[in-house]
């Protein structure tokens, strides 16, 4: 028995070494942690249970039968994050560059199947040279098996990808189908075709970092949801995110102990909206002041900054927040912000996370680039997502809610449950000046008359009462009391049940 135990320990020891000391040192010299070190940081201490530690590839081409490493370049298993179960795979770049073989894919598929079956999130730590070149189509088949599982798991369990090294070719499509992608600055990149192919085909000269680094994907392409300085920060932020998320689509959002009075009155909010209706203010300040302990986990912070998306807690329960940001493009909706918010709303709805919408929107951004870029279809995504969502929806209009954007931003008409407005709200088809110039075109040459018409329009519409008189606004509330009113609103909606008519699936404008 002792011999067998020793043999087991020796085999484990060998497996833990992956591709060997030399390659581990190279990994460290690039500022990257090893696959196992990453799992240790991601999960609670001693909670990791590994599967398939001794699996090896079955390839016999190119002398591969002589090069076998236990585990075959990916470490898989489950563990806990603050006591809650998650499944994890972590690609080991020290074994064939973390490349994906048939057996490597089978290991990933195994834990994905278990995650769906047992209702727990899947977290993929990606660090891979792509398809295992020696295995040819067997490795492409392996990728497709993973893709199919990403699709089936979508909306069933949260899927999170962390890109911690190369991720190229078709390999990017597995992370692309997950709910959140995080990248590590300077050491990770994602692209469908790398800089060499780009140069050959298009003559463009571009570095890997420019083409698919963390900054590119968080600021330009919006492929990634967040960029972090190093492996340690990325993993600890994933832990923080998981704390906000339900484990699956059948379980409620987690409720954590909270130390912030839900009835807290914040007098500073009474002066948040400036007197000048065109002056900006920071909507993030409102979010932070509403949230338990001021904790806001922002998603896509660097992209389409005219809309804010992320998670907060109210009375310990997770709430998704979508908020126009008057500091950027005056808070207008455009193609990018509509796409960003629509995807976030759909995530929340899929996982029964209630949605808080904070509105200060002067309308959709005008211009040829927006129209040519298809703002009609992209704006419709957000409209569709809000209208389809059956989760509790609480909306607060702080200032402007003009035109189509009023309708889109979780209005009463899109089944908003509580629609509040501050006394500073202005709900109208458009701003007073634009409206006057259209309906009093005949008086355009007469400055005095136009000023009078504009003032009349403002008197009539630059307030929340016309909407409140019709019941489109449930209540006009004082800014200072917003946290209390919103907490009470969500508390009253905990038993909400609403079902859309049966369908195979809708046809959201893509
Ligand atoms: C087998 C691979 C490999 C691969 C790297 N290695 N990629 N082995 N298949 N795809 C091995 C190397 O041979 C090397 O082995 C070790 O991993 C580390 O690689 P290096 O090149 O030394 O590392 P580095 O300089 O950091 O470069 C990393 C890299 C580069 C940029 C990822 O290795 C590279 O370009 N690899 C090929 C990428 C690629 O074209 N993959 C196929 C993409 S197509 P030793 O023994 O020396 O340590 C694809 C299709 C998917 O993925 C389709 C899905 C639908």
**CATH number of the domain that residue 26 is part of:** 3.90.226.10
Q: State residue 431's pLDDT score.
A: 83
Instruction: Name the residue with the closest Cα to ligand 1, atom 30.
Output: 129
In whole angstroms, what is the distance from residue 159 CA to residue 148 CA? 13
Question: Is 235 inside a domain boundary?
Answer: yes
Residue 133 near ligand 1, beta carbon < 6 Å: yes
Domain count, the chain: 3
* From 59, 97, 138, 177, mutation site for ligand 1 pocket: most ligand atoms within 8 A of C-beta: 97
Ligand 1 centroid – CA 263 distance (Å): 56
Is 497 domain-assigned?
no
pLDDT number for residue 458 = 87
Q: Please give the positions annotated as active site.
A: 169-170, 404-405
Rounded-to-integer distance, Cα 179 and Cα 244, Å: 14
* Residue 256 located in a structural domain: no
Would residue 506 count as lying in a domain? no
Predicted pLDDT of residue 432: 86
Place of tokens 């419709």: 380
169 lines ligand 1 (CB under 6 A): yes
Q: What percent of the chain has pLDDT over 70?
A: 100
136 lines ligand 1 (CB under 6 A): no
Question: Residue 486 falls within a domain, yes or no?
Answer: yes
- pLDDT at position 462 is 86
Q: Which residues of the chain have pLDDT under 50?
A: none
Res 15: pLDDT: 94
Nearest CA among 254, 332, 261, 331 for reference residue 297: 254
User: Is 445 in the same domain as 338?
Assistant: no
Same domain? For 226 and 278 the reply is no
Domain presence at residue 255: no
DSSP SS3 for 301? coil
Q: In whole angstroms, give the CA distance from residue 373 to residue 110.
A: 41
Residues 437, 333 within the same domain? no
On whether residue 503 sits in a domain, the answer given is no
ipTM surpassing 0.95:
yes
Are 205 and 307 found together in one domain?
A: no
Q: What is the pLDDT of residue 48?
A: 98
Same domain, 296 and 192: no
Instruction: Say what the pLDDT of residue 151 is.
Output: 98
| Residue 130 CA, ligand 1 centroid: distance in Å | 6
Distance in angstroms between the alpha carbons of the first and the last residue of the chain = 61
Cβ atoms of residues 350 and 247 within 8 Å: no
**Given this model, what pLDDT does residue 434 score?**
85
Parent domain of 407: 267-425+464-492
pLDDT of residue 170: 82
| pLDDT for res 66 | 86
State the pairing for strand pair 297-299/307-314.
Answer: antiparallel
pLDDT of residue 459: 87
Mutational test site, ligand 1, from 32, 34, 100, 129, max ligand atoms within 8 Å of CB: 129
Residue 168 β-bridge partners: 191
């Amino acid at each position: 028995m002792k011999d067998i135990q020793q043999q087991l320990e020796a085999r484990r020891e060998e497996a833990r070494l992956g591709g060997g000391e030399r390659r581990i040192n190279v990994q460290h010299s690039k500022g990257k942690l090893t696959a196992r070190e990453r799992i240790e940081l991601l999960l609670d201490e001693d909670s990791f249970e590994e599967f398939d530690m001794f699996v090896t590839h079955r390839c016999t081409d190119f002398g591969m039968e002589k090069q076998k490493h236990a585990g075959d370049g990916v470490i898989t298993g489950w563990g806990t994050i603050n006591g809650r179960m998650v499944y994890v795979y972590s690609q080991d770049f020290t074994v064939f560059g973390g490349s994906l073989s048939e057996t490597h894919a089978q290991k990933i598929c195994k834990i994905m199947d278990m995650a769906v079956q047992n209702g727990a999130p899947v977290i993929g730590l990606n660090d891979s040279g792509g398809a295992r070149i020696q295995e040819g189509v067997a490795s492409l088949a392996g990728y497709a098996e993973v893709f199919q599982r990403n699709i089936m798991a979508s909306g069933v369990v949260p899927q999170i990808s962390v890109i911690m090294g190369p991720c190229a070719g078709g390999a990017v499509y597995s992370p692309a189908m997950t709910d959140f992608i995080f990248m590590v600055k300077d050491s990770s990149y994602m692209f469908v075709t790398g800089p060499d192919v780009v140069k050959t085909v298009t003559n463009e000269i571009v570095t890997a970092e420019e083409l698919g680094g963390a900054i590119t994907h968080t600021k330009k392409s919006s492929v990634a949801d967040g960029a972090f300085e190093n492996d340690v920060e990325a993993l600890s932020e994933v832990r923080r995110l998981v704390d906000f998320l339900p484990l699956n689509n059948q379980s409620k959002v987690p409720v954590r102990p909270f130390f912030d009075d839900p009835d807290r009155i914040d007098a500073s909010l009474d002066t948040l909206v400036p007197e000048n209706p065109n002056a900006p203010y920071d909507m993030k300040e409102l979010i932070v002041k509403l949230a338990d302990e001021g904790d806001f986990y922002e998603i896509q912070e660097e992209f389409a900054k005219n809309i804010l998306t992320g998670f907060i807690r109210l009375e310990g329960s997770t709430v998704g927040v979508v908020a126009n940001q008057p500091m950027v493009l005056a808070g207008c909706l455009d193609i990018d912000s509509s796409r960003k918010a629509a995807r976030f709303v759909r995530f929340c709805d899929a996982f029964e996370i209630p949605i808080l919408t904070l509105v200060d929107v002067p309308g959709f951004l005008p211009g040829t680039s927006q129209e040519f870029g298809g703002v009609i279809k992209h704006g419709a995504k957000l409209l569709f997502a809000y209208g389809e969502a059956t989760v509790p929806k609480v909306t607060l209009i702080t200032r402007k809610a003009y035109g189509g954007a009023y309708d889109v931003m979780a209005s009463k008409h899109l089944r908003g449950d509580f629609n509040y407005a501050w006394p500073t709200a202005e709900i109208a088809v458009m701003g007073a000046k634009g409206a006057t110039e259209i309906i009093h075109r005949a008086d355009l040459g007469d400055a005095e008359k136009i000023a009078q018409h504009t003032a009349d329009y403002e008197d009539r519409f630059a307030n929340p009462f016309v909407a409140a008189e019709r019941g489109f606004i449930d209540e006009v509330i004082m800014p200072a009391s917003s946290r209390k009113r919103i907490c009470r609103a969500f508390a009253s909606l905990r038993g909400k049940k609403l079902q859309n008519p049966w369908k195979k699936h809708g046809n959201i404008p893509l």
